[in-house]
Chain A
């Protein structure tokens, strides 16, 4: 039988304490590292059930467990090439938040979509 603890506060042996809501609210609810170039494929993921390729530099991250609302925070970081920085200028953004998915986009210096060889998305917020 699995053990279960219900507590409001965690305190370490050295006296540093933290309310458990900081642990629950402060934990990432989803993260994913995926290849956005060619056939899109996840490398490593937590609560991201799949990635949908919506076009050049345009991806949809689908969550396994839904978020509570659409007001969650997202961080998107991309790498254009694996061979250094010279042509690597890009802007990575997020939009179209729903409770079950979010779009991550990447654009180059001309502001047009560019596929990223590495895309990382981090999600913080509340789960449903």
Chain B
């Protein structure tokens, strides 16, 4: 078994492009582009993140509306986000969801989102979970 002890991985040919061989061995793909660039689990009742990666701070903008501010910025404002709303800790709203607030609210350094639930889409305290991919600056 081999082990590398290092602080930084940098591409040799191109600093921002390290390729890894696929699980099946038929292809190679970029390591950097596959890595999640941020994630968070957010408790609106506090409000604060239970845990996060690449999040510097959170702003409470309005009822059910929050902005997550990134530590390291993205290269553009079109990075994809997988978002899920969870009724925990209330468990009283079975249908919950979170959305981008509007197109101008996703920037290279932050993302504002709305979260709602229940049958009428009202805002209430919930937990938000999010994985963020895309390219860093």
> Hey, which bits of chain A sit against chain B, CB under 8 A?
2-3, 5-13, 17, 23-25, 27-29, 31-33, 43-44, 46-47, 65-66, 68, 75-77, 79-86, 88-90, 117-118, 120-122, 126-128
Contacts and interface: CB of A to CB of B under 8 A. Distances in A.
Interface of B: 1-7, 9, 12-13, 20-24, 26-27, 29-31, 33-36, 76, 78-84, 97, 99-103, 114, 116, 121, 131, 133-135
Contacts, number: 139
B102 to A, nearest CB: 5
Given A44-B134, A85-B116, A10 B22 contact: no
7 contacts: A2-B13, A9-B1, A32-B80, A46-B133, A65-B22, A77-B82, A120-B82
Most A-side CB within 10 Å, residue of B12, B99, B131, B135? B99
B31 A84 contact: no
A85 B114 contact: yes
B99 A127 contact: no
A122 B131 contact: yes
